[in-house]
Structure 1
Amino acid sequence: MDIILIAGMWLDATAWHEVVPELERLGHRPVALTLPGQGDGDTAATYDDQVATIVSAVDAADGPVVVVGHSAACALAWVAADARPEKVARVVLVGGMPNADGETYFGFFEPVDGVVAFPGWEPFEGPDSDDMSAELKARVARGAVAVPAAVTRGVVRLHDERRYEVPVTMVCPEFTPEQAREWVEGGDVPELARARQVDYVDIDSGHWPMHTRPRELARLLADLS
């Protein structure tokens, strides 16, 4: 099965470079995306451009696909299910949750000079990054891409309630499955509260398991496909 991989803010397709060969070895067809404005050099890219790229990747697959979103890109993975509910077999959310209709895609950091640059590791101290070595942090920071404000300030639009029939798996890195279930069942994640099936899977990592637990993450994704 095709597995579409969408990395979170500041990351391009190379974030999955250790996950991809393991998924291939396990018999799947991983498609790691570099999104407009997030590694392709397009400084004028918008949120809608990113959505269009993801939907095009879903359309290009021969059959049903699994769409994997990491961190902020969990919102993009959910938008793919909304746009193509008949073709997305499962949405996998790694370390993040979908936005509701009408919400700003990524409003956690204010743009400066038209972009949201990687803010350094200070905002992610603690469970998010405790499993990353200083060398790994330096490598990830060197490869981080400043994301255009027109991406981060895009407005999420959802149209098709058939998305709630698409099975969802939450992969829980720096938080536990119990915490995630509590957030969903408590109404903090309205989109998932309405989903027909939400499964919760633990992974012993911080916020970036594609870097710190790539083989484990690949095996987990393969088992869901």
Structure 2
Amino acid sequence: MTTTASRPIIILIAGHWLGAWAWDEVLEHLATDQSRAVAMTLPGLDGDDPGRAAKTLDDQAAAVLDVISQLGASGDQPATLVAHSGANAPVSLVLDRHPELVHRVVWVDSGPVAPGSAFGPGIPEELAELPLPPFDVLAEQASLDGLSPEVLERFRARAVPEPGPVLRQAVELTNDARHKVRTTLVCCSIPGAQVLELARSGHAMFAEVANIEHLDVIDLPTGHWPMWSRPRDLAGTIQSAASRTS
């Protein structure tokens, strides 16, 4: 029988405009007797929080660390962090500040950010928040492949505007130990081979990938939101990554 202490701790963190609800279908497929998996909503993305538009990346990173602590993760039993899309900035901060608490990071159609980078450095200070754009505009930036009209309707209905400070804040990274954390790239809208080539060429969006010391690359062809288009396959990939010891 698998004990609670031996089951991998998995924390699922969705990207911009999304909360814990985005992982509902993935959680259904994760084997509950083999892992302790939870989804969290980052500060600023709780629609019921009246102060959410003022939240920062530091607030988000602190919240991830709080969940790690609440689940009993430690240097002896670190957690697996699953970061989708724009969750890469706060999770990169967590890796920099406490790499010893992370067993593995699974980037879902995402990857680590480079020091000093910001998602939207040119976004004006007076813009308090960024709502989910029209889907025709969004599709120019990220693939919507595999999403049904029903899924898009739910996305639109439940999306929460992204706080301006989160988008403008530059990520300060100083601890090279973050590069030693075991890493799995789940490549969906861009094939893994292309991601690695972009990393080797120094492309700003993928440059940090070239610094990772222990890297696995998994292709899961679909759009940018595989938690909705391929939830069973994504759950299996996450479960496998979290269970690995090397």
> Could you state the TM-score of these two structures normalised by the residue count of structure 1?
0.92
Aligned AA for 2:59? D
Comparing 189-198 with 27-36, greater Cα deviation is found at 189-198
In 1, the alpha carbon distance for the partners of 2:65 and 2:156 equals 28
Aligned AA for 1:212? S
- Whether 1:61 aligns to 2:75 is no
Aligned residue for 2:84? 70
- Whether 1:88 aligns to 2:102 is yes
Aligned residue for 1:213? 230
> Could you state the TM-score of these two structures normalised by the residue count of structure 2?
0.84
Q: Conserved in 1, the CA contact under 8 Å of 2:42 and 2:63?
A: yes
The 5-angstrom pairing of residues 188-203 of structure 1 reads: 188=203, 189-203=206-220
| Cα deviation 1:135-194 (Å, max 9, x = unaligned) | 211111111100111121122111211111111111011111111111122222232211
Question: Which consecutive aligned stretches of 4+ in structure 1 deviate over 3 angstroms post-superposition?
Answer: 108-113
Q: Conserved in 1, the CA contact under 8 Å of 2:83 and 2:106?
A: yes
Measure how far apart 1:199 and its partner are: 1.4
Q: Conserved in 2, the CA contact under 8 Å of 1:36 and 1:50?
A: yes
Q: Conserved in 1, the CA contact under 8 Å of 2:145 and 2:224?
A: no
Q: In structure 1, list runs of 5 or more residues that go unmatched.
A: none
Q: Conserved in 2, the CA contact under 8 Å of 1:11 and 1:38?
A: yes
Aligned residue for 2:115? 101
In 2, the alpha carbon distance for the partners of 1:54 and 1:155 equals 18
User: CA 1:124/1:148 → structure 2, altered by over 3 Å: closer, same or farther?
Assistant: closer
Q: Conserved in 2, the CA contact under 8 Å of 1:78 and 1:91?
A: no
Q: Conserved in 2, the CA contact under 8 Å of 1:69 and 1:76?
A: no
Q: How many residues align?
A: 224
SS in 2 for 1:100: coil
Q: Considering only aligned residues, what root-mean-square deviation do their CA atoms show, in Å?
A: 1.9
Q: Conserved in 1, the CA contact under 8 Å of 2:84 and 2:107?
A: yes
SS in 1 for 2:117: coil
In 1, the alpha carbon distance for the partners of 2:170 and 2:94 equals 15
Q: Conserved in 1, the CA contact under 8 Å of 2:57 and 2:90?
A: no
Q: Percent same amino acid at aligned positions?
A: 37
User: CA 1:203/1:135 → structure 2, altered by over 3 Å: closer, same or farther?
Assistant: same
In 1, the alpha carbon distance for the partners of 2:216 and 2:122 equals 30
Aligned residue for 2:129? 115
